[in-house]
Amino acid sequence: MTTTTIAPSRRRLPVWGTVLAAALVVELMVFSLTNTHFFGGGAGMLSQIELFLPTGIVALGLAPVILTGAIDLSVGATASLSSVLVGVLILHHVNPVLAIGIALAVSTIIGLVNGLIITLFGIDSLLVTLATQFIASSLAVSVAGDNPPFGFPDMFLALGEGTVGPVPIALLIFLVIAALVMLLIGRTGFGRRIVLIGYNPSAARFTGVRVMRTFVGVFTMSGLVAGIAGIVLAAYFNAGRSDSGMSLLLPAITCVVLGGVDIFGGRGRIGEVVLAVLVLGYLTQGLLNSGVSSLTATMVTGLLLIVALVVKIAFERRSGESFLGTLRRRFAARTGGSPGVGRGAKGGSEKAAAEPRDPAHS
């Protein structure tokens, strides 16, 4: 209880990733067998989750934030603002590339401001991003005006509905961002600092990690990625709408959590988040394709999330420990905590003491 043992890092297959991959394979097989339009010669299957990709992209920006133990509620509104901005600019005959650049710059600034307020004033990320969410969505509404922009040139639309061979461009964008975030978290010092802060912010601070700088970096990145999601949204729907991004937030959080990222930070793999995006995206569309009502599909998503979280806790059982014991151990660590930067500070040192974990687990 009082010793913090760090388990030796072993090369073994990530268990949760294997479960998700297996789930994905089963899902794709079942849908391909039961639905005549699902497989579509392989290529059709790739376009099935087009509608879900903006959510997936947002999840990729959100995952590092949640890894630090913080949360970013402003991503949906940032995506909306980005989609509206790019649309309005293009319709005002700004070069599409420049328009995308401006929209992404604004999104990045929103993320930067989030990070700065959180670290400089030491306010909980939940509250700060709740506030910036309102600001960003109001900005989006006012930029969109009475006639939200629609009807963009084909060159821009390709980002949302175009394909390279059989692969949708939006899917490529998603995969490229996924690869970059995966490298960032797994292979760089910045990534290790993110995980360490989430795992134990006090320890991170004592070992000389620049916690504030890392936080600002993570939130800036989240803003940028949300901005990219907004551009894909605008290109897919051929319209910029001030409410289009709002529906991305909760499914994106669902993907991150289903992807095994601890909602309190410090643990999770980006690869598993990518798998979770695919599992959830194909499940939703596959169920709808099978004539299941949207009501049932939403319910199944909720059930799946609960089942997944319970199963995941079961995996974390130590030998000889009862299931309820695992639950108690995990949640005992959440009570109390020292004030500090963001949500990352919550549970602080008690968490690490109560729950020795493998920091190399990401």
Distance CA 183, CA 269 (A): 11
Q: Is 241 in the site for other proteins (CB under 8 A)?
A: yes
Distance CA 238, CA 157 (A): 6
Distance CA 50, CA 26 (A): 20
Residue with smaller CB distance to other proteins, 219 or 237: 237
Q: Cβ 106 to other proteins, closest distance in Å?
A: 20
Task: List the interface residues with other proteins, window 269-298 (CB under 8 A).
Answer: 283-296, 298
Burial category of 70 from C-beta neighbours within 10 Å (exposed 0-12, middle 13-18, buried 19 and up): buried
349's enclosing H/E stretch is helix 348-354
Query: Is the CB of residue 236 less than 8 Å from the CB of residue 54?
Result: yes
Q: Is 37 in the site for other proteins (CB under 8 A)?
A: yes
Task: List the interface residues with other proteins, window 317-346 (CB under 8 A).
Answer: 317, 319
Q: Is 163 in the site for other proteins (CB under 8 A)?
A: no
Q: Cβ 169 to other proteins, closest distance in Å?
A: 14
Q: Is 7 in the site for other proteins (CB under 8 A)?
A: no
Task: Collapse the DSSP code of 8 into the 3-class scheme (helix H, G, I; strand E, B; otherwise coil) and give the result.
Answer: coil
Residue with smaller CB distance to other proteins, 307 or 360: 307
> How many other C-beta atoms lie within 10 A of the C-beta of residue 101?
14
Q: Cβ 184 to other proteins, closest distance in Å?
A: 28
Count of residues near other proteins by CB under 8 A: 59
Q: Which one among 78, 244, 254, 362 touches other proteins, defined by CB under 8 A?
A: 244
Q: Is 147 in the site for other proteins (CB under 8 A)?
A: yes
Map tokens 């949300």 to a residue.
226
Q: Which of 267, 268, 264 lies closest to 347 in space, CA to CA?
A: 264
Q: Which amino acid is at 218?
A: V
The two structure tokens encoding residue 101: 């650049």
Q: Cβ 193 to other proteins, closest distance in Å?
A: 31
Classify strands 163-164 and 167-168 as parallel, antiparallel or unpaired: antiparallel
Distance CA 82, CA 323 (A): 45
Residue with smaller CB distance to other proteins, 30 or 97: 30
Q: Which of 129, 150, 148 lies closest to 252 in space, CA to CA?
A: 129
Q: Which one among 130, 303, 331, 336 touches other proteins, defined by CB under 8 A?
A: 303
Distance CA 87, CA 27 (A): 36
Q: Is 146 in the site for other proteins (CB under 8 A)?
A: yes
Q: Which one among 18, 95, 335, 338 touches other proteins, defined by CB under 8 A?
A: 18
Interface ranges with other proteins (CB under 8 A): 15, 18-19, 22-23, 26-27, 30-31, 33-38, 48, 51, 141, 144-148, 150, 161, 236-239, 241-244, 247, 283-296, 298, 300, 303-304, 307-308, 311, 314-315, 317, 319
